Amino acid sequence: AKVAVLASGRGSNLAALLDAHARGELPVEFVLVGSDKAAAPALRLAEAAGIPTLALDPRSYPDRRAFDFDLFARIAASGAEWLVLAGFMRVLDGEALQPWVGRIINIHPSLLPKYRGLHTHRRALEACDAEHGASVHFVTAELDGGPVIAQACLSIEAGDDEERLAQRLLPLEHRLLPEVLRLLTEGRLRWDGQAPRFDGQLL
């Protein structure tokens, strides 16, 4: 299966995908890593792994919609069949995204449907939640609102602050995302427009 990844920043989730691939646990082909930030460390990781990269600057487009249509056209031209958002910090236009629905996933650092959007760790702490986690979900036009595929949970500890909680969650994200992508690309997990279904044990 041919996979494209979009990332705006550090790229630790991209690194987890590449590591799983290098270990032989994720039999896909990464055809493109794209970003809205030319300086994103994620692009350097992709270059080092020999994966074609794409950096598009939103400021050189008249509006968000124009950016999104061009982005998706280039992703389609890469031959990608699946698209993973791994820390891609932009809201996507619903119409531009439509042809990808069912083939595009995102990792979000909260136990959705709690805490869509930003500052999820802080919000979980402020709410005195006992648990926090990360979700991988199918992307729809609704921000962080598409059907959840799988989640990883941890208990919030007395010593947690925003940064520590984020740090403790990250290794769980790094297991979750490659595993979900593997199941999807193996055809063991699909979305028929109602609830996502999968066969077998996830983690």
Active-site amino acid positions = 108
Residue among 86, 104, 149, 150 that touches ligand GRF (CB under 6 A)? 86
Is position 11 annotated in a ligand binding site? yes
Is position 103 annotated in a ligand binding site? no
173 binds ligand GRF (CB under 6 A): yes
Length of the chain: 203
Judged by CB, which is closer to ligand GRF: 47, or 199?
47
Tell me, residue by residue from 103 to 132, as one string, x for binding to ligand GRF by CB under 6 A and - for no binding.
----xxx-----------------------
Place of tokens 């991988």: 136
* DSSP SS3 for 72: helix
* Residue in the shown chain whose Cβ atom is closest to ligand GRF: 87
Question: How far, CA to CA in Å, does 64 sit from each of 8, 80, 102, 139?
Answer: 16, 22, 22, 17
The minimum distance between CB 141 and ligand GRF, in angstroms, equals: 18
The minimum distance between CB 68 and ligand GRF, in angstroms, equals: 18
With b meaning 16 or more CB within 10 Å and e meaning fewer, what string describes 127-148?
eebeebbbbbbbbbeeebebeb
The minimum distance between CB 41 and ligand GRF, in angstroms, equals: 8
Q: Is the dihedral of CA 126, 129, 130, 136 positive or negative?
A: negative
Q: Which of 166, 200, 162, 159 is nearest to 183 (CA)?
A: 200
9 binds ligand GRF (CB under 6 A): yes
Q: 136 and 180 in contact (C-beta within 8 Å)?
A: yes
Is position 135 annotated in a ligand binding site? no
Instruction: By CB under 6 A, name the binding residues for ligand GRF.
Output: 7, 9-13, 86-87, 107-109, 134, 173
User: Which positions make up the binding site?
Assistant: 11-13, 64, 106
